[in-house]
Chain A
Amino acid sequence: MNPSRHILQDFDAALESLRADVLMMASLTDRNLQNAMACLLDGNVELCAVAVADEEEIDELEKKIDNDGVEILLRFQPVASDLRRVISTMKVSANLERIADQAVMVAERSRKLTTLPVLDEVHALGPMFMEATNLFRDSVQAFADENATLARSLKARDREIDQINHDVADNFVERMGHYPSRITDYVNLIFIARHLERVGDHAKNIGEEAVYAAEAEDIRYREAEFPAA
């Protein structure tokens, strides 16, 4: 019994290719997030345009992964861990596409902010951006390594980002009262925080898929798990 190689070598090659595509997609999505962040925090309008333009490539990869995934299901009719890997890879791909969407929306709202004197509060979103990015990177790592322990830790971190979002929104609403002329900017900032919060949600979803792929356990809609002290 050979534990690692499929009798059909084509299957191994097809699954490896599918996973390579999704990791490529994750890499492009990461770049998109970084461009959106540079756009927001550094006012780099050029990178705003890059973030928007790059999304098309990510959309194409999502379609390719869907097509290839369906073909694998059709040709090989995988079961057990093979089936879970194909299904979870396709679902991760959908979440990556949504994260890229959020990055584009951040970039577009950031571009609007750069046309006016920049609010100091923009930089208040820097730590949230880092949290969301780190959560996203760890979710991809957990999926790539099928590291269920890391994946299970992501829900709690997503909750923290949710809390930051609430705090940031409360703060910006309060500031609107003080500076009614900049209401539009504050609304944009509130939306950007909301987009980052959604990045956290999708990263958490990727973590859930990593657990499903690794351990066949569906942990969606469950309370966050905290590691034992």
Chain B
Amino acid sequence: MIEDSVITETRMPSSEQTLEKPESAILEKAEPVFEVKDVSLWYGDKQAIKNVTIDLPAKAVTAIIGPSGCGKSTFIRCLNRMHELVPRTRMTGQVLFRGQDLYGAGIDPAVIRRRVGMIFQKSNPFPTMSIADNVIVGLKLNGVRSRRVLNERLEKSLRMAALWDEVKNDLDKPGISLSGGQQQRLCIARAIAVEPEVVLMDEPASALDPIATMKIEELIRQLSSDYTIVIVTHNMQQASRVSDLTAFFYMGQLIEFDETRKLFTNPKEKQTEDYITGRFG
């Protein structure tokens, strides 16, 4: 029982939180989708996240950057409880999703993961399924049976993932017959087919060639008008191209969070400046 190995404690934020809230028109304009309050997380004895407090705004792209092992992937997994799939995980603090405690009693992680989708570094289409089935599998699992609805959602999702024109005549072919970049867009189509509110992306383009990467980046910008996107990336140029806001993590701590343009031209924290300018390590 994986779930049994997870201990989740909820407590109020500590008063020691010192990170300044950024002066950001984006943050002022948009309602926060996530309110993360003083979240810490341990894998066994190792603390991966330390007292992170941050509000993530709706219909914006937030990039999470930082060196390997800084906790950025762990952090986004806290946003849809994916970290609970790792044994001996312990979390404290609070994550509010649309004002509701994500870790509250009676919250079904499966429902959360439907509302908060995730794209991984390596594309993972279901190998035995066709392109079409890969996209609509989530809908079928959710009980949608109407062929008309499934077909509409299939086309809409593939169009939104900028893949329709490339695959519309091959919908019955296996998903794994596509190129790496197409497979990743297929996974994005699969994620958005169930109409989540948030799409989390963990290094979605790091295994792709530059052209496929550009297509994914263009797609992220287009999706940001309808979805809240949180993207983990090692590629700082990618963060500066696709995101509205950027959070810099270092050794499990949130060091700085600001509008992307500000963070990449005039970071407030020296650690941020040293990292993004390549004076780290």
- Identify which of residues 227-281 in chain B touch chain A, using a CB-to-CB cut-off of 8 Å: 236-237, 240, 264-267, 270-274, 276-281
- Assess whether A84 is interfacial by the CB under 8 Å rule: yes
Rounded to whole Å, the gap between the CB of B147 and the closest CB of chain A is: 49
- Assess whether A2 is interfacial by the CB under 8 Å rule: yes
Distance of A50 Cα from B263 Cα, bound (Å): 47
- Give the 8 A-B CB pairs with smallest separation, nearest first: A216-B266, A7-B278, A79-B264, A82-B277, A79-B276, A6-B278, A80-B273, A80-B277
Distance of A3 Cα from B272 Cα, bound (Å): 11
Q: Show the binding face of A for B, using Cβ within 8 Å.
A: 1-8, 11, 77-84, 216
Q: B123-146 vs A: 1/0 string, CB under 8 Å? A: 000000000000000000000000
Q: Show the binding face of B for A, using Cβ within 8 Å.
A: 236-237, 240, 264-267, 270-274, 276-281
Enumerate chain A residues within 8 angstroms of B277, measured Cβ to Cβ.
6, 78-82
Given contacts A79-B240, A80-B273, contact A7 B266 (CB under 8 A): no
Dominant secondary structure at the A interface: loop
Q: Choose from A1, A77, A84, A216 the contact partner of B279 (Cβ within 8 Å).
A: A1
Distance of A83 Cα from B265 Cα, bound (Å): 7
> Which chain A residue shows the least CB distance to B236?
A79
Rounded to whole Å, the gap between the CB of B84 and the closest CB of chain A is: 33
> Which chain B residue shows the least CB distance to A83?
B265
- A80/B266 in contact, CB under 8 A: yes
> Which chain B residue shows the least CB distance to A2?
B279
Distance of A1 Cα from B279 Cα, bound (Å): 7
- B278/A81 in contact, CB under 8 A: no
- A80/B265 in contact, CB under 8 A: yes
- B281/A1 in contact, CB under 8 A: yes
- B273/A11 in contact, CB under 8 A: no
Given contacts A216-B265, A216-B266, contact A81 B281 (CB under 8 A): no
Q: Choose from B237, B240, B278 the contact partner of A8 (Cβ within 8 Å).
A: B278
Distance of A9 Cα from B87 Cα, bound (Å): 43
Distance of A84 Cα from B266 Cα, bound (Å): 9
List 25 A–B pairs whose Cβ atoms lie within 8 Å, in order of A's numbering.
Answer: A1-B271, A1-B274, A2-B274, A2-B279, A2-B280, A2-B281, A3-B270, A6-B278, A6-B279, A7-B278, A7-B279, A77-B237, A79-B240, A79-B264, A79-B265, A79-B276, A79-B277, A80-B265, A80-B266, A80-B273, A80-B276, A81-B273, A83-B264, A84-B265, A216-B266
Enumerate chain A residues within 8 angstroms of B240, measured Cβ to Cβ.
79
Enumerate chain A residues within 8 angstroms of B267, measured Cβ to Cβ.
80
- B265/A4 in contact, CB under 8 A: no
Q: Choose from B236, B266, B280 the contact partner of A1 (Cβ within 8 Å).
A: B280
Enumerate chain A residues within 8 angstroms of B264, measured Cβ to Cβ.
79-80, 83
- A3/B276 in contact, CB under 8 A: no
Distance of A84 Cα from B262 Cα, bound (Å): 12
Given contacts A6-B278, A80-B277, A84-B265, 12 further A-B contacts (CB under 8 A): A1-B279, A1-B281, A2-B281, A5-B279, A6-B279, A8-B278, A78-B277, A79-B264, A79-B277, A80-B272, A81-B277, A83-B264
Distance of A6 Cα from B275 Cα, bound (Å): 10
- B281/A7 in contact, CB under 8 A: yes
Enumerate chain A residues within 8 angstroms of B237, measured Cβ to Cβ.
77
> Which chain B residue shows the least CB distance to A215?
B266
> Which chain B residue shows the least CB distance to A217?
B266
Q: For A3, A79, A216, which residue has the most chain B Cβ atoms within 10 angstroms?
A: A79
Distance of A79 Cα from B274 Cα, bound (Å): 10
Q: For A5, A11, A80, which residue has the most chain B Cβ atoms within 10 angstroms?
A: A80
- A4/B279 in contact, CB under 8 A: yes
Enumerate chain A residues within 8 angstroms of B236, measured Cβ to Cβ.
79
Distance of A82 Cα from B266 Cα, bound (Å): 10
Enumerate chain B residues within 8 angstroms of A4, measured Cβ to Cβ.
279
Distance of A80 Cα from B276 Cα, bound (Å): 7
- B274/A3 in contact, CB under 8 A: yes
